[in-house]
Amino acid sequence: MSFFERLRVAGVRHSAAHVPRAIQPANATAAPGIPMAPPMRVPVQPASDALHSSRISNGLKEFLWYLDGVGRGCLLDLGPVWQQTVGFFVDRGFKVYSEDLLGEWKEFLEQETEKCRADPQGDSDLDRRPPARAERFMETALRQPAGTLDAVLLWDLLDYLDPALVERIVARLLLLVREGGVVLAMFHSRTPEGFRRYRVLDGHSLEVLSTHGEFPHLHVYQNREILNLFGRFHSSKSFVGRDQIREGLFIK
């Protein structure tokens, strides 16, 4: 299948709480052949709760270079919905899906905690070990059909997730991304002062929204660990910014 062939996405059934939704900017019109998604409320973080800055992103620039010519492809954003990011890619002909993976993980952990409180003696058959917990989470997360994604914005999510879950997420992305598809990920070279969210400003820069206490940073990945995680992708590139964030581009 050619890298530039138009992607056709089949339907999929899974938990409504984790359904990735195709989204469009509020003022967008449907491109020929692409149905307009229903209106969706876009969460906007209050300025008082976040510090805004920008950073040059060579990883984003290279990411867009790989996507040049794809046409009406499909992109999955694994962060929260930002109108700015959605509009940027829709204007380039992409159908954009969003699945706030960290938000889903937080909700899942809260549910797991409630189950443990209801069974303090551990009499139930619930396996509380991290690998089993990760398997339960993946039953409802990232349920797109295999080989249907041209691009994935993974951001820096892996730094904030259990290692057992990280391995399963990368393995699932390998399944979901089509041949020639690309994943953009980011890794902190040291523990950041606060939690960050990102949205696209233009073709070579990102807006950074820094908050405190939303998610704890769990792991600083070394270069060898990153290469091992994405070892089954055909090729990769990395870029280290002045802010000590390593951007990784992984091509299937």
**Is 221 contained in some domain?**
yes
Render the burial of 12-25: b for 16+ CB within 10 Å, e for the rest.
eeeeeebebebbbb
**pLDDT given for residue 125 in this prediction:** 77
**Is 76 contained in some domain?**
yes
**Is 189 contained in some domain?**
yes
Which residues constitute the domain of residue 162? Answer: 45-99+145-251
Structure tokens at 39: 């209106």
Rg of the chain, C-alpha, whole Å? 18
Q: Which residue has the tokens 């409504």?
A: 16
- CATH at 232: 3.40.50.150
Task: Return the amino acid letter for 112.
Answer: E
Decide if 216 contacts 31 (C-beta within 8 A). no
pLDDT means per 10 residues in the chain (252 residues)? 35 42 48 35 44 92 94 94 96 96 96 86 80 97 97 98 97 97 97 92 94 87 96 96 93 97
Q: How many CB atoms lie within 10 A of CB 138?
A: 15
Render pLDDT for 133-157 as a digit per residue (tens, 0 to 9): 999 999 999 999 999 999 999 999 9
Decide if 172 contacts 20 (C-beta within 8 A). no
Render the burial of 165-175: b for 16+ CB within 10 Å, e for the rest.
bbbbbbebbbe
**Is 125 contained in some domain?**
no
Question: What's the rounded Cα separation, in Å, for the pair 4 and 81?
Answer: 26
**Is 114 contained in some domain?**
no
Decide if 175 contacts 36 (C-beta within 8 A). no
Task: Return the amino acid letter for 62.
Answer: E
**pLDDT given for residue 25 in this prediction:** 46
Give this prediction's pTM.
0.80
**pLDDT given for residue 91 in this prediction:** 95
- Strand positions, DSSP E, 138-242: 149-155, 177-188, 195-202, 205-211, 235-240
**Is 205 contained in some domain?**
yes
Question: What's the rounded Cα separation, in Å, for the pair 148 and 5?
Answer: 11
**pLDDT given for residue 182 in this prediction:** 98
**Is 106 contained in some domain?**
no
Question: What's the rounded Cα separation, in Å, for the pair 208 and 130?
Answer: 31
**Is 38 contained in some domain?**
no
Question: What's the rounded Cα separation, in Å, for the pair 173 and 151?
Answer: 10
How many domains does the chain fold into? 1
Question: What's the rounded Cα separation, in Å, for the pair 218 and 177?
Answer: 26
